[in-house]
Amino acid sequence: MKITGAVLRSSPAATPYRDTQPLDVTTVELDEPASGEILVRIEAAGVCHSDLSVIDGNRPRPLPMLLGHEAAGVVQAIGDGVRNVQVGDHVVLVYVPSCGTCRFCVSGKPALCTTAIAANGAGDLIGGGTRLHAGAEEVRHHLGVSAFATHAVVDRSSVVVVDRDVPLETAALFGCAMLTGYGAVNHTAGVRPGESAVVFGLGGVGLAAVMSASAVGAWPVVAVDPVAEKQQLALQVGASHACAPDELDELKEKVAPEKFDWAFEAVGSTKVFEAAFAVTGRGGGTVSAGLPHPSAVLRLPALSIVAENRRVLGSYMGTAQPAVDIPAMIALWRAGRLPVDRLISAEMPLDHINDAMDELACGRAVRQIIRPHRLPEASA
């Protein structure tokens, strides 16, 4: 079938993206779902730094590639052998599929699935190869999803069915921003009530970590970002305090004089991670949920890791189990404890995708939502 999608053909791309147009919104051929696969009509797709990092060269990927990985939609067709999913179901897409048989999958760590990581790195679906074509040219899949499009074919393990009363623009955020931030707090760190937490970087993942830390009863929950508007949003979704990076030392002396139990870095910067490590105390942990450049190297005081029982933790996809965690987060959202809707900065049609990348790159946006079936003249 013919679909419309946003295809990246070269990287790194120069800014501003509204001028250079690195994402080509064009017609692409999409194959029918193979065995174990599903065709989804994409209704909402979040614009995430993991998409931007492919455009700016920080995350090299095989090209051409149809980007987008945080999304929700409606099932249009199912391939042979698909179980527990029906046409018409509303689904959240997950950017790490799972084979279900490797040692990571069977031990409850699907984010580390060996088969999935290899497929995602190659731009393939986990079942092998691609389902996207531009003439004779294969177009690669982004993280098994490729959601900046009207439709996507994905593996069954890349979807979680959700109740139909959950707005799809909200549901989309549970697939990446919320899954990563919530999981970093609840699974990677295991924050307990009364423990202190500081979050560096208030994009979608950072704000998800803020609201998740608040939801588990952490105090204080300090949010750090140079953008004043993001600081104010953090206070509205659960932070007890918010400040710019150069104000943190003064604030820390007032609210966490013995340093923080937990620090979360959601920027993808080694400099920021080192700053996060510096403000955790004895027995504390520093969690990185951002994606730095592959060549980046950390410099940390090694002795303190042992002598002070400090922990340095990576958190990919929040160390989460999407089939369990997405329904759990939705339950908390229904209870008013995870105000996910507040993360949405704007909604726009697919042909505004390059403008959305500019907004993300300059730090103004939290989560912009692409509506692939919205006409350009209907955009806000």
**What digits encode the pLDDT tens for the residues 177-228?**
999 999 999 999 999 999 999 999 999 999 999 999 999 999 999 999 999 9
Quick: pLDDT tens for 82-139: 999 999 999 999 999 999 999 999 999 999 999 999 999 999 999 999 999 999 999 9
- pLDDT value of position 276: 98
Q: What is the mean pLDDT of residues 21-29?
A: 97
Contact between 68 and 51 (Cβ < 8 Å):
yes
- pLDDT value of position 379: 43
In the numeric block, which tokens belong to residue 311? 């922990």
- The residue assigned the tokens 């697939």 is 175
Res. 376: pLDDT tops 90: no
Q: Is 215 exposed, middle or buried (0-12, 13-18, 19+ CB in 10 A)?
A: buried
User: What is the spatial distance between Cα 90 and Cα 76, in angstroms, rounded to a whole number?
Assistant: 10
Contact between 127 and 115 (Cβ < 8 Å):
no
Contact between 76 and 232 (Cβ < 8 Å):
no
Q: Categorize the per-residue pLDDT at 377 as very low, low, confident or very high, splitting at 50, 70 and 90.
A: low
Q: Which of 310, 332, 329 is nearest to 320 (CA)?
A: 329
Query: Chain-wide mean pLDDT for the chain?
Result: 96
Q: Categorize the per-residue pLDDT at 378 as very low, low, confident or very high, splitting at 50, 70 and 90.
A: very low
User: What is the spatial distance between Cα 105 and Cα 111, in angstroms, rounded to a whole number?
Assistant: 8
Res. 39: pLDDT tops 50: yes
Quote the percentage of the chain above a pLDDT of 70: 99
The domains located in the chain, with CATH, are: 2-175+339-378 (3.90.180.10), 178-316 (3.40.50.720)
Quick: pLDDT tens for 329-357: 999 999 999 999 999 999 999 999 999 99
- Which has more confidence, 40 or 378? 40
Q: Which of 219, 165, 213 is nearest to 191 (CA)?
A: 213
User: What is the spatial distance between Cα 380 and Cα 376, in angstroms, rounded to a whole number?
Assistant: 9
Task: Give me the residues paired with residue 28 across strands.
Answer: 3
User: What is the spatial distance between Cα 238 and Cα 333, in angstroms, rounded to a whole number?
Assistant: 13
User: What is the spatial distance between Cα 96 and Cα 93, in angstroms, rounded to a whole number?
Assistant: 9
- The values of phi and psi at residue 224, to 5°, are -125, 125
Compute how many other C-beta atoms are within 10 angstroms of the C-beta atom of residue 216: 19
Q: What is the mean pLDDT of residues 320-336?
A: 97
Res. 380: pLDDT tops 60: no
- pLDDT value of position 225: 98
- pLDDT value of position 374: 86
Res. 74: pLDDT tops 70: yes
Number of helices and strands (H, E) in the chain? 13, 18
- pLDDT value of position 375: 75
- pLDDT value of position 293: 87
Indicate the DSSP class of residue 135.
T
- pLDDT value of position 337: 97
Pure H helices in the chain = 17-20, 49-55, 103-106, 114-122, 168-173, 177-183, 204-215, 228-237, 248-255, 270-278, 302-307, 322-334, 353-361
User: What is the spatial distance between Cα 296 and Cα 292, in angstroms, rounded to a whole number?
Assistant: 6
